């Protein structure tokens, strides 16, 4: 394993590690009580395992997910990827990184949340993003060798102090949903799944593969190996931080009255735990330390998303240069970060809820086809059915049209109602494929 692999791995870690990834683990740790370990390991299984799988599967075809999804259907590939890149890019996730940074850095330190302060902050924020992203090959080096070490050092400082301050306490009292080890596993599994990082993996895989190629690696098997190693580096770093933050949250003494008060005020409990951790550990400096961590986490995620979106659209519409896409998407993100973000989020969450099951289903179908002879129809059937079920489920959940049968689907309570359907329709797809004679098995392009 060479230096470049480490840099790419740390870059991938930083791109995945957004502000939300800071908040989820301590909250889960607090809720899980005595069932901490099954809860946090299940969280890692879906919150880290699925994204890692998503990145690695993207390296199976030399064209990445564009090539793999084209094997299912060229039209599906374009529509699906455009929706993914726009939703997790300039129309939702990138503006949110800026607004989250502002709310957790400027607001608590300067005690202001005025529109002017937000405008000034986002000008500086997106100027830095633009500077880092205008050259994608340098972006990997700058994040992997400069920003990520700084991010890791600041997080480690808070984690070490958190262990000292809270590690000796008794575990917290389990929340109502955590009645057993299996219940804790189920809650952790669902919470990790709901981070939706697997969607970002589809976007980030292109950056990782291109970064590996930029080091001079051209052999398909070596590209896959280096991508896997980089993914494992990112996964191990995420695992360490998730378990550490979760463990500290698990040993923080927060009364049920305080939790009820935070819930009544619609305040995020995970944010409260992080703020408390920083205040107890570092006093007044704590809010600055937490601000640095959040700003770096959001900045690196925004850079990864800008580069991913710009590279994808330059690939399908090459007449417009990569730099123009970077400038355009950065500008759109800047505008949305300053106005109408709540309405954008309201529209984006249902879209993400539809594409997420389709994304995970597609990743597993591509992986299966790598080892089992697969005709296109075997992939098309489960993707089509899962897409329909996801759309109907979101329509029902949002209250647009009530369909009572949706609530009776297995695993609906865990937002996994699509999973049994994906398994069954995949089996049906392979059975149907044996009867289709005019299709040849899918072959992924390696060189």
Q: What is the mean pLDDT of residues 236-265?
A: 90
Name the superfamily (CATH) of residues 3-339: Amino acid/polyamine transporter I (1.20.1740.10)
pLDDT digits (tens, 9 = 90+) for 141-160: 888 888 889 999 999 999 99
The distance from CA 311 to its chain's CA centroid, rounded to whole angstroms, is: 19
Residue 130, pLDDT score = 96
Classify residue 176 as exposed, middle or buried by CB count within 10 Å of its CB (0-12, 13-18, 19+): exposed
Residue 446 binned pLDDT confidence (cut-offs 50, 70, 90): low
pLDDT digits (tens, 9 = 90+) for 59-110: 988 888 998 999 999 999 999 999 999 988 998 889 988 988 888 888 778 7
Q: Tell me: pLDDT of 19 over 90.
A: no
Q: Tell me: pLDDT of 340 over 60.
A: no
pLDDT digits (tens, 9 = 90+) for 107-126: 778 777 788 988 999 999 99
Arithmetic mean of pLDDT over the chain: 90
How big is the CA angle at 241 (ends 237 and 245), to the nearest 5 degrees? Answer: 175
Quick check: pTM over 0.85?
yes
Contacts of 313 (CB under 8 A, 6+ apart): 85, 320, 325
> Domain spans of the chain?
3-339, 350-447
Specify the 3-state DSSP secondary structure of 168: coil
């Amino acid at each position: 394993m060479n230096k470049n692999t480490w840099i790419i791995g740390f870059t991938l870690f930083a791109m995945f590690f957004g502000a939300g990834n800071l908040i989820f683990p301590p909250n889960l740790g607090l809720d899980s009580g005595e069932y901490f370990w099954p809860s946090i390991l299940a969280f890692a299984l879906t919150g880290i395992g699925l994204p890692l799988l998503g990145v690695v599967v993207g390296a199976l075809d030399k064209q990445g997910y564009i090539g793999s999804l084209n094997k299912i259907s060229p039209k599906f590939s374009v529509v699906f990827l455009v929706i993914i890149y726009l939703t997790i890019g300039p129309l939702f996730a990138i503006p949110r990184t800026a607004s989250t940074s502002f709310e957790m850095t400027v607001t608590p330190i300067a005690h202001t949340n005025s529109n002017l302060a937000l405008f000034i902050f986002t000008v500086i924020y997106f100027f830095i993003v633009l500077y880092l992203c205008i050259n994608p090959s340098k972006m990997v080096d700058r994040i992997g060798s400069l920003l990520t070490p700084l991010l890791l050092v600041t997080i480690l400082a808070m984690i070490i102090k958190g262990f000292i301050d809270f590690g000796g306490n008794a575990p917290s009292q389990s929340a109502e949903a955590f009645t057993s080890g299996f219940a804790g596993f189920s809650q952790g599994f669902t919470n990790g799944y709901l981070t939706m990082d697997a969607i970002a993996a589809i976007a980030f895989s292109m950056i990782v593969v291109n970064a590996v190629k930029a080091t001079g690696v051209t052999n398909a098997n070596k590209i896959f190996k280096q991508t896997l190693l980089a993914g494992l580096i990112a996964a191990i770093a995420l695992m360490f931080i998730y378990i550490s933050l979760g463990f500290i949250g698990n040993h923080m003494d927060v009364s049920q009255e305080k939790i009820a008060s935070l819930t009544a005020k619609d305040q995020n409990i995970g944010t409260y735990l992080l703020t408390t951790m920083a205040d107890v550990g570092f006093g007044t400096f704590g809010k600055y330390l937490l601000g640095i961590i959040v700003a770096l986490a959001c900045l690196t995620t925004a850079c990864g998303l800008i580069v991913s979106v710009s590279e994808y659209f330059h690939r399908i519409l090459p007449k417009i240069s990569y730099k123009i896409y970077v400038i355009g998407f950065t500008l759109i993100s800047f505008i949305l970060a300053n106005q109408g973000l709540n309405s954008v989020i309201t529209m984006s969450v249902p879209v993400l809820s539809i594409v997420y099951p389709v994304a995970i289903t597609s990743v597993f179908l591509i992986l299966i086809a790598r080892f089992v002879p697969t005709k296109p129809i075997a992939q098309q059937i489960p993707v089509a059915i899962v897409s329909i079920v996801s759309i109907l489920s979101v329509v029902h959940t949002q209250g647009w049209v009530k369909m009572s049968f949706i609530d009776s689907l297995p695993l609906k309570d865990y937002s996994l109602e699509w999973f049994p359907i994906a398994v069954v329709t995949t089996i049906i797809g392979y059975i149907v494929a044996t009867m289709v004679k005019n299709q040849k098995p899918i072959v992924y392009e390696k060189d």
